[in-house]
Structure formats: C-alpha cells, structure tokens
Structure 1
C-alpha cells in the first residue's frame, strides 16, 4: 500500500468489530439505510427518465415536445450544479437530502393528480425543470455525506456499492416504468415515481452520521461566485486533483458520444436490428457491476494513481478495438470492458475527492469538478458523431481510443502517479462530533 493511502487494518478513530478489527460496511445500520435511500432515489430518477417523455408523447404526439422537456431539464440541472455545492456547504445536509426528495415527491405527485381531469402540458414544462434542480441538489449533497456515514478506508467500497445501485436503477427503472406505463398509463408511473421519493425522504431521517459536517461560517462566506471559486481553487491547488480534472476533461470530451457511435455502428454500418443494439448496451451495463464489485480491492492493491491510469488506458484500447471489430459479440465484450474501466476510474476519482477535501468544502469541490470536467462533453459528442458521419465509426473509434490511451498515460508525468501526494484529511478535523453520535 503506497504511503498516504489508508489500509483496512489501520485504526482511524472508529468503532471496532467483535474481534477488535474494523467493522464491515454491512454492520453499519446508517450505511445500510442510506444505501436503500440512494437506491430508491436513483430508481425514481430512472422512472422519470422514461415515464415523463411517454406522458408527453401520449398527450401531444409530438417528439419535438418530448425533446424540449428533456432539454429544459438538462439546462436546469446544469445551472443548479453551479450553485448546489455552495448550498450543500452552507446548510444542514440531512435536511437538504430530505428537501430534495420531498420536493420531487410533491412536484411529481401534481402530475397524476392533474391528469385525472385534464392534460395540462404546461404543468410538465413547469414541474419537470424544477424537479431537475432538486435532483442535482440531491446528487451533490449525497457525495458530501458519505464520509460522515462510513469509515475513511471504506469510502471507495461504499461508492462502489452506490455506483452499482445506479447501474441497477438504469436497467430496472426504465423497464418497470415502461411496464407500468403500458398497463396503467404514464401518469400512474409518475405517481409511483413520486412514492419512491417520499420513502427515500423518510429514510434519511433514520440515517445516523458519524459526525456533523461543519458548514461554512458567516465569516467564511462571500458571494456565490466567490464560494463557487473556492471549490475550483482547491482543485487547482491540489497536486492530484488538478491534473486529474484536466485529463478527465479531455477524456470526457473524447468518449461522451461513445454510446451514440456504438448504436450507429451496430444498427447502420453492421445492419443489425434495435434488439441487437439493446443487447450490446445491456452487456455494457455488466461492466458497471464488475467495476462496483472490484474497485475497492483493485485500488487497495495498486493505489489510486496506478488504478486510474491503468483503467483509462485499458478503456482507450477497448474503444479502439470497437472501431476495428466488425463482430457484434466482440463489440459487446469491448463495451463491457470499457464501462468497467470507466466505472473503476470514476469511483476512485469520487472517493479521492471525498478523502482529501475538508468537509466544509466538499460540496463546492464536487460542483466545480463536475462542472469543469463535463463542460466539454456535449461539444465532443457533436464533433465525434459528425466525424463518424463523414469518416465512419471505425476510423473515429480507432482515433478516439488511441488518443484516450495517450491522455491516460500522460498521467504518469503528473501528480496522479505520485502516491505520496494522496493525503486524506483527518476526519476528526472535518466534522464536529456532537454528544450521543458515534465517534
């Protein structure tokens, strides 16, 4: 284990198990409840992803209006992401999680109630973007509370579990929403969606934090732009997070449109039906499950730098292989490898930020990181898909894979490859420990 990283046999101000060793994640009731809450919230988001466009289509018959609703939600989420970190650092995070889920419950409940007597499309245009704002607030806030629920050396494993819940929700949610929508109507599916958020909000009440994260004091607060820049400044000053953010921005630019390219390759260039496309993308989801199960062991054995660089290097080779292969089964296997590698790298990246960032800054650092590294993604998707239309998917994937490999290997020349730069903050310095809460 490289110096500066925590191992499972280090004792870091935590309760011990029955035989004096550290407790497992599953023996932590707060973690079990929080994982269930996270699963319900993710399932609700996945329900919305399918049920809302279906409701618009059923009510208007217009694919354009479906796209407008989706676009408005995306814009609302991005704009909220700019300030969500400031909010998460200023206010009580338990209450913010409950507020986000409770608000989405009430907002989505308005839709099936209104659809009993009429079909007010304007309500969807009003409700859905606001719900998107609360969804982004939840996502940022949940990242900030994970270190207050699990022990420092369990953060990567916990993030792996939560990554798996998103993968499950992304598969099960749309399937369940489609089934309910076809049997009882899209409005009923949205009603079920509302119920998942209600249960999730109540579940947060039962989660016991190891400590209460320190919010920023009034003396530390500036205007919103200054507080947002505090997160960006922390990223820039950190010897690992700075190159990590820059390299990941380039990689996101390159691979953001990969799913679109694979769909085009399988359906149009290889002339297979939609069902085959579904099989290939489902196979890719298997990679997400593998990543969630393996990431903690891999990182413990190899360290952060080697894990992150190796994962994206292998992902680059897999993307290049997709371009060279004309076989659907091979493409499915390579998509599985690609999503496994990007999953491992992403979980490690999130865990590192949670480990090295003081609690009172974690919301702003999370918002800054997400905003910066995803900003170029949509532009990259437009460029790569346009290039594929002219030069073909084979050429674009080959070039994309080689460049991703080169960018990942560049990490060996930066602080990412220096394990001594990865210094977790002291959890005692990051939280207040009120009387009656676990140390």
Structure 2
C-alpha cells in the first residue's frame, strides 16, 4: 500500500500490491492489442467489407453498453477482484473458441456471438478495474496511479500490434486472437495474487440495497447532479459517436487507400500507441500546472485536428504520426475524466457512477461506428475524417461554455447529498 514514510511515501513502483496489479493488467493489455488489430483484419480478410467491420463493432458496442447498466451494481455489491477474475476467465474461453472454429474455415457468424459477450464481460471488468484503483492507492495519488497504469498499458500496446501484424501476416489473424485469449489467463493469475483495501468510510448514510435498476439510477442521479460530470457525459457522448469506428476506418484507410499489408497496419497501430504512452506520462503534470478544464479542452481540440489530418494524409508515416498525436491527446483527456470521477464520487457509489457514465458515454458509439464506416465506404475516408474531426473540435468548444472550463486541478467532492434511499 502507499503509506506515509517519514518525510515521503513509498514510490508506486515499489508498492507490491499495486505493482502486481500493474504487471497483470499490462500483460492483459498486450494481449488485448492483438484482438484490437486481429478482429478487424479477420473480418476484412473474410468479407472484404468495411461495413461488416463497422456492424460487428456496433453489435459489440451495444452489448457493452447493455452490460454497463448493471455492471456498476455488480461492482458495488460484490468483491471487485473476484468479478475481474471471472470476466478474465470468460474471455479466455470465448476468445479461445475463435481460432479453433477457424480451423474449419472462416466463421464470421461466430464473431457476432463471441465478441458481444466478451465486450459485455470486458465492461464489467473495466468498471471493476476503475473502482479498484481507489482501493489500491491513496486518493491524492489516483491521477498518478492512473497515469502509470495507462502508460504501461500503452507501452505494452506498442509491441502488441507490431507482433500482431507479423503473426497475422504469417499465421493469420485467428492465431493473433489465440494470443489474446492466453493473455486473460495471465491477468487472472495476477489478480489472484493481490488483495484490495477495504472501502474507507466517507460519512454517508449506511448503504441500503434496492432493486438493481434503482441502484443503477442512484449512480446516474449522482452523475447528473454533479455539474462537471454532467457536462463531461454529454460532450463525451457526442465525441464517442464521432470516433467509435476510428480503428476500423484507420485499418481500411491503410490497407485500401494506401496499399498497406497486415504487417503495415500492425506497425502503424503499434508505433501510434507511443502517443498513448506520452499522454499518460504527461497528464499528471499537465493537470497540476494547467488545471482540469484547460487540460481536458485542449486535449480534445488537438484530437479533432489530428483526426481530420489522418483522413487527408497520403503516406503511411504521416498517418502514423497523426494517429499518435490523436491517441496522446485521447489518453490525456480520458485519464483526466476518469481520475475526476474517482476523486469526487463516494466509494459505495463509484461502480454505479462509473457504469452510468460509460453506459451513457458509449450509448451512441455503436450507431456512430455504423455511420462512420458506411460513410467511409460511400464517400471516402478523407471526407469522413474531416467531418468527424470538425465535430471533435466543436466538442472542445462546448467545454469552454460548460462547468468543465472552470474546473480546477483538484476538484472537491460534490456537495450533493445522497438520501438513504438512493445510497444503495
């Protein structure tokens, strides 16, 4: 645990519990990056259709949103570590079915079964993982912990797509998915080795359990009543509509428009992931110096410019650099938003507030993925990227006219009182 030690505290990298969690999730992230590339390649290889890629992304996204509605209730009711292990084991089994089925030839229908279930399990895992940070480190180290976790995830993701591109080119995308399946076994094993801190009393009334929907709505009400969180939810819902299908469009652009191979796509995604590493390392000092509002708005402004540039780029190196800039700023904005929720939400509501945020945030994502990929096939990537990038700029402008602009570096807990009936 991170505890005061004389004049200072134990560095996070020397904290055994946090370090074990850190390593386990980094290995899982490395495996995830295989599926991140392999699934679109598998669909494109079997169907040659970017629209099919977008449809699969949409179906999986819808399952994730549906799982998010009750994922927070599960996380606040049951042991968070156990839920994460169960989600890992489920994804190990399901993703493992794909390469086995592919031995008999392309089975695209199976992806429409497996991927939504895995995304639903992944949503529960993500909600639990976000809330677990509160039980790993002290409150004033949450942004630092998130930054370190995200930086390491991204560092693992740099190597992942590079290797996935090589594996996909040599052995096929189905084999790359098998590597992803194995990564969940490593993550589950690491999680079994740690224990989370018990929740600290926050002065609220005793928790009273209610119906799952009522408990979910308690988290949604807290989210809506906190001005900064409400503004973030609305603006990020628009942002996710515009960007949810970005990976599919990027893969299509590199392969179809620029004539790249599977290995080229893996190289682009792997090198671009360095941007996520940089963003994760920069977010804590940026937020301390510039404040939450300036950091978040600036990050999304640059995201819009980079996204528009990706569509207009005519060379693979330019696409790689612009994608890296996009991912860097996406990392900065995402970690800022996640850290703020963790800081100002009571622990007994954190799972439900997180799931309410993500369910609302991602609700428009599936429709956006279908729209973005359909438009890219019909009107071309440059037009779609320009429109999406302009929309992201408008999201940043919206932040200037919301409570986000006035949010400081260390937002205080919302003064909203949660009645006993809503605390469950």
TM-score range, shorter chain: 0.7 to 0.9
Change (3 A) 1:33 1:263: closer
Matched, 1:155 2:146: no
Match of 2:215 in 1: 227
Change (3 A) 1:73 1:286: same
Match of 1:316 in 2: 304
Provide the C-alpha distance between the structure 1 equivalents of 2:171 and 2:383, rounded to a whole number of angstroms: 46
Structure 2 gaps of 5+ residues are 416-424
| Structural RMSD (CA) | 4.2
Match of 2:292 in 1: 304
Matched, 1:365 2:353: yes
Match of 1:139 among 109, 126, 142: 126
What SS class does the counterpart of residue 273 from structure 2 fall into?
A: helix
Change (3 A) 1:257 1:63: closer
The within-5 A match list for 1:19-30 is: 20-30=7-17
Structure 1 gaps of 5+ residues are 1-12, 427-439
How far is the alpha carbon of 1:352 from its aligned partner? 0.9
Match of 2:412 in 1: 423
Match of 1:339 in 2: 327
Match of 1:209 in 2: 196
Provide the C-alpha distance between the structure 2 equivalents of 1:179 and 1:277, rounded to a whole number of angstroms: 10
What SS class does the counterpart of residue 211 from structure 1 fall into?
A: coil
Native 8 Å contact 2:58 2:369 kept in 1: no
Matched, 1:290 2:278: yes
Match of 2:83 in 1: 96
Match of 1:6 in 2: none
Larger Rg: 1
Matched pairs, number: 408
The worse-fitting range, judged by mean Cα deviation, of 238-247 and 383-392 is 383-392
Provide the C-alpha distance between the structure 2 equivalents of 1:320 and 1:366, rounded to a whole number of angstroms: 30
Change (3 A) 1:102 1:281: closer
Matched, 1:377 2:382: no
Native 8 Å contact 2:87 2:122 kept in 1: yes
Native 8 Å contact 1:316 1:403 kept in 2: yes
How far is the alpha carbon of 1:100 from its aligned partner? 2.5
How far is the alpha carbon of 1:283 from its aligned partner? 3.6
Matched, 1:402 2:371: no
Match of 2:339 in 1: 351
How far is the alpha carbon of 1:20 from its aligned partner? 0.8
Native 8 Å contact 1:240 1:422 kept in 2: no
Provide the C-alpha distance between the structure 1 equivalents of 2:395 and 2:113, rounded to a whole number of angstroms: 42
How far is the alpha carbon of 1:412 from its aligned partner? 1.8
Provide the C-alpha distance between the structure 2 equivalents of 1:211 and 1:201, rounded to a whole number of angstroms: 20
Change (3 A) 1:266 1:214: same
Match of 1:37 among 24, 28, 31: 24
Scaled by the length of structure 2, the TM-score of the pair is 0.78
Deviations 1:30-69 (A, max 9, x none): 11011112123334444556778999999xx7889x9798
Native 8 Å contact 2:162 2:269 kept in 1: no
Match of 2:420 in 1: none
Match of 1:7 in 2: none
What SS class does the counterpart of residue 221 from structure 1 fall into?
A: coil
Provide the C-alpha distance between the structure 2 equivalents of 1:15 and 1:309, rounded to a whole number of angstroms: 33
